[in-house]
Structures are given as C-alpha cells and as structure tokens.
Amino acid sequence: MSTLLLNLDFGEPPPKKALEGNAKHRKFVKKRRFLERRGFLNKKNQHPSKVPKLHPDPPKKGEAPRVDGTWKVSPLPKKKTAASSSGPEQSLDRKAAVPWLTPAPSQKAGSVVAKVDLLGEFQSALPKTRSHPARSQKKGPQKNPTQKNAPQNSTQSRLENKCSGASQKTPGKMVAIDCEMVGTGPKGHVSSLARCSIVNYHGDVLYDEYVLPPCHIVDYRTRWSGIRKQHMVNATPFKVARSQILKILAGKIVVGHAIHNDFKALQYSHPKSLTRDTSHIPPLNRKAECPENATVSLKCLTKKLLNRDIQVGKSGHSSVEDAQATMELYKLVEVEWEQHLAQNPPKD
C-alpha cells in the first residue's frame, strides 16, 4: 500500500476581512451598525418581519428577552372557530405571516415561529354587529275580500252620511231667532226692532232683550208684538243690541219663520247657505197637508204638526215661544231637507 500523506495546517485562522475604505468610511459603517443594533436605523434590504421594534412592549407570560431588544414569543394554542371548519376560504396557510394583520417580531434563524390562527384573529378584530330583532309589522284593519267587489256608496248613501255628520254638529252651530217689531216713521209704517230672542238647538234661551229703536215709536203694535211703553224704559239701544246679536249669529245655521223680516229689522244679511226658513220648506207643508209652495203661518204649522197653540190672546206674541216652535218644526224635516240642500245648494 502506498502511504497517504495529508497536509493539514493547524495554524491560526485567517484574520477577519478588514473594513474596506478609508478611516472616515470605516467610522461611518461602525456608527451605522451601532445604530442598527440599537434599533434606530433599519438594515438595508431587510424583510419587514426582520425589522426590530423601536419600542418593544413589556414581556408577557411565556416570553423571554432577546439580545437585540426584542421578545421571543412562545407558540400560542390554536383557536377553534366555527368558520375554520368549512368554506374554501379556510384553506389559507395559518403559518403564513401577514404584516398588515399581525406584525411579526424580529427573529433570528433557529427561533420558534409563533403560530397564530389568522382567520380567528381576523374575525375577532372585526366590529361585532348586533342582530336587530325583526320589526313588528303594523297590522292595519283587515279588509274584507267581499268589499273589493262591493260597489261604491251611492249618492243617496253619501248624502245620508253627510247629513248625519251635519246633524251631529248642529247642536252647537244651529240657532233659531224670532223678532218683534214696533211701528216708527210716518204713520208707523216702518217696522223697527223692539225685541229679539235666540234659542239653541235644544230650545234653551241664548238671548232675549227688549231693544230701543233709534227712531220715535209711533205704534207699539201690542196686539201682535206684545210690546208696551214700559218695556222701552230700560231697553238696550239698537246699536248695542245689534252688535250682541250678530256675534251670536256669526258662523251659525239660523232657523226662522219668514226670517227675511227679522234680518231686515236687524239691518243684516245672513248667508243663504246658513239660513233655514220654515215658511219655505215644502216637506214641512206636506206633513201639515198644505200646498207645498204656500206660505203657511207659524201658528198653523205648530197647531197641525206639534199640536200646540201659540200666539193666542190679546197680550201679543212671545218671541221666545215662537223661536222654540220654529226650531221644533225644523227638526221634523231636518234630515230630508238637508239632503235636498246638499243636492241643490242655495246660491248666496
């Protein structure tokens, strides 16, 4: 056998390669490396996961301090999430580092890589949304299916509804009036207001005053008016009484018998749509078995329809009694007459 000779050099290892460049460059490189170790400068061409933290957090349980100022993270237990058991998105590599989601600490070769359940961490970082309870739907009145096929209300039914609605408002918006006049002017031929009475829908007296005419009274007409000289002693002046009466009549349905005479004495004109004259209501005449177009006296209508005697004796008429009788007569034909007026509204 030939002798195998080995030339082994057990001398000192070759010296480390000295820093290249002049003294100024070597000083700059040393200073840069010092700042890199302290974490004030980032190393060139370094992966983001290798960059040391400038302000490392205090150590937690299971962490050990490192030489470069970072902390060694112990492996975390895997989280079991319901979302990780199904779906194509769960095939992600959980060991992969996602810098924008969980910044990895600086690690050297041979260190343990922290295993983090990225999907579980991502879901836990999302804001929790509250499940709103289903809003209770407002249940409106259930419509009867048969109502769809039913025809619309006829004209007569609409008028009845309108009249029934009007009759519900009449107690507060309807009054009856009656006036008594005396003679003034040449030979007492001018009729002037001497008494006025107003009652409500139920016959209660709202106003009843003797009125002093602005002109000298020539004929008291006591046989019909019931006015005497003593009634004018403390009577209300015409202007004051007229102002009080018009306030009561404003906006109300006014019922009267031959009511144009009362308005003439008041020197007032009421809207025709709010005026009901019992001397020109054909249904009332038919009930009394009188010609429809005839002007029947209040005394006659009251006797036939209400079976009551008014305007009897020589003491004269009572304006309160006449106003109450007028309202009662109107009530007898109120629904029928209001239907007629709804079809044929009077023109003012």
AA identity, residue 114:
A
Distances, alpha carbon 10 to alpha carbons 3, 6, 7, 15, in Å: 21, 12, 10, 14
For 230-259, the pLDDT digits (tens) are 999 999 999 999 999 999 999 999 999 999
What is the distance between the alpha carbons of residues 317 and 309, in angstroms, rounded to a whole number?
Answer: 12
Burial of 248 from C-beta contacts in 10 A (0-12 / 13-18 / 19+): middle
More confident residue, 20 or 104: 20
Token output for 318: 């009572």
- Per-residue model confidence (pLDDT) at position 316: 80
- 3-state DSSP of 123-175: HHHCCCCCCCCCCCCCCCCCCCHHHHHCCCCCHHHHHHHHHHHHHHHHHHHEE
Token output for 341: 């007026």
Residue 279 has pLDDT above 70, yes or no: yes
For 62-73, the pLDDT digits (tens) are 555 554 545 554
pTM of the model: 0.54
What is the distance between the alpha carbons of residues 118 and 101, in angstroms, rounded to a whole number?
Answer: 8
What is the distance between the alpha carbons of residues 69 and 58, in angstroms, rounded to a whole number?
Answer: 11
DSSP 260: H
Residue 190 has pLDDT above 60, yes or no: yes
Residue 337 has pLDDT above 60, yes or no: yes
pLDDT tier for residue 314 given thresholds of 50, 70 and 90:
confident
Arithmetic mean of pLDDT over the chain = 74
Residues paired with residue 180 on neighbouring β-strands, in sequence order: 195
The full set of domains in the chain, from first to last, is: 171-343 (3.30.420.10)
- Per-residue model confidence (pLDDT) at position 37: 83
